[in-house]
Amino acid sequence: MLSEFSLIDRFFARRAAARPSDAASGSLGIGDDCALLAPPEGEMLAISTDMLVEGRHFFPDIDPEALGHKALAVNLSDLAAMGAQPLAFTLAFALPKADETWLAAFSEGLFALAERYGCELIGGDTTGGPLNLCITVFGSVPPQAALRRDTARPGDDIWISGTLGDARAGLGIQRGEWSADASDAATFRRALERPEPRVALGLALRGIAHAALDLSDGLAGDLLHILERSNVRATVNVDAVPRSAALRRLPPDIQRRCTLAGGDDYELCFTAPATARASVEAAGREVDVSVTRIGTISALQAAERPAIGWRDAAGAPLTLTLQGFDHFHAD
């Protein structure tokens, strides 16, 4: 556990070891064979794991401080999508070499976000090898309050937090697919490298939203996960999908591609009954995150499969050929 390089002890174990090594308090922490953790009385642990690989999930030249942020942010985003309160995480990583400057910046980005969400490092593993980061994150949620994927119901509105597409726009600029002025390019790059997990919104939506997930692979593919698990269809107004002022300055076809089939958005997509519109909007205001209605859920008719019907602002059907986010490479 975090003991193989003294540099790593210095940057990680020390900050992790700040927590009490007393099982009764909730966690044994770093330095034993296992960490001990229990959810609060009546709640369950929500658990998610993500692996990030250089060249696939981030560019080799990424600022290591941004990488530290993003590696934890994408995991916290999974907790947000369950309506779970962050508690703790483990970090396993392979590094080609123990580079002090790199580790200092990476750990700074990681712990700055962890501390903001009260999410403590309770264990890990480090080894040499091609750069690879694997975080497993733990949150707590009362099981009946968990925001699942299989609970969307006909008549629900479909909502999106924040705006979509900026991260994909940033990836396109780094790849040379399109360009933007320096200020917009910085906006897109920030969205790509420093997503903000919607933890507070996920908590505020407990008891209001029916189904939820976080958008990591693009709206078109991710919303389909809710539809398939809930056995329903969706109708989405593509012109209602929220986008930033910067994205609105790119050509319309690129806007659509970035918002509908982009990825790395880490915004929440959720459904809620039409009677809860005021409550959803109040939840968004309470946590200072915009929420936008983009469509509705409907029941499957005979022989229909779960699918998304795309419409323009006038309600006319659109035929879109969209693929999910390809994480830098086509599979």
CB within 8 Å of 181: residues ≥ 6 apart: none
Among 229, 277, 293, 311, binds its own copies (CB under 8 A): 229
Min dist. Cβ of residue 267 to its own copies (A): 13
CB atoms inside a 10 Å sphere around CB 116: 13
CB 209 within 8 A of CB 76: no
Nearer to its own copies, 219 or 250 (CB): 219
Nearer to its own copies, 78 or 196 (CB): 78
Q: Does 327 bind its own copies (CB under 8 A)?
A: yes
Q: Does 230 bind its own copies (CB under 8 A)?
A: no
Q: Does 60 bind its own copies (CB under 8 A)?
A: no
Distance between CA atoms of residues 175 and 79, nearest Å: 30
Min dist. Cβ of residue 103 to its own copies (A): 14
Distance between CA atoms of residues 16 and 161, nearest Å: 32
Please name every residue paired with 233 in a beta bridge, in sequence order, or none if there are none.
298
Residue 214: name the closest of 281, 159, 135, 152 by CA.
159
Min dist. Cβ of residue 54 to its own copies (A): 8
Site for its own copies in 64-123 (CB under 8 A): 78-79, 81-82, 84, 90, 92-94, 122-123
Stretch that binds its own copies, among 131-139, 254-262, 271-279, 312-320 (CB under 8 A): 131-139
Q: Does 31 bind its own copies (CB under 8 A)?
A: yes
Distance between CA atoms of residues 121 and 13, nearest Å: 8
Nearer to its own copies, 246 or 269 (CB): 269
Among 11, 12, 16, 28, binds its own copies (CB under 8 A): 28
Distance between CA atoms of residues 232 and 236, nearest Å: 13
Tokens of 155: 């008549």
Q: Does 9 bind its own copies (CB under 8 A)?
A: no
Q: Does 322 bind its own copies (CB under 8 A)?
A: no
N-to-C CA span, the chain? 33
Stretch that binds its own copies, among 134-142, 168-176, 236-244, 258-266 (CB under 8 A): 134-142
Stretch that binds its own copies, among 53-61, 235-243, 293-301, 304-312 (CB under 8 A): 53-61
CB 75 within 8 A of CB 199: no
230 is in an annotated binding site: no
Burial class (CB in 10 A: 0-12, 13-18, 19+), 124: buried
CB within 8 Å of 160: residues ≥ 6 apart: 215, 219, 241, 242, 267, 268, 269, 291, 292, 294
Burial class (CB in 10 A: 0-12, 13-18, 19+), 106: buried
Residues that bind its own copies (rule: CB under 8 A) add up to a total of 68
Q: Does 39 bind its own copies (CB under 8 A)?
A: yes
50 is in an annotated binding site: yes
Site for its own copies in 141-160 (CB under 8 A): 141, 143-144, 146, 148-150
Half-sphere exposure of 177 (CA within 13 A, CB side): 15
Question: Binding site membership for substrate: which residues?
Answer: 57, 264, 325
Chain positions contacting its own copies, by CB under 8 A: 1, 4-5, 21, 23-24, 28, 31-39, 43-51, 53-57, 78-79, 81-82, 84, 90, 92-94, 122-130, 132, 134, 136, 138-139, 141, 143-144, 146, 148-150, 212-214, 225, 229, 327, 329, 331
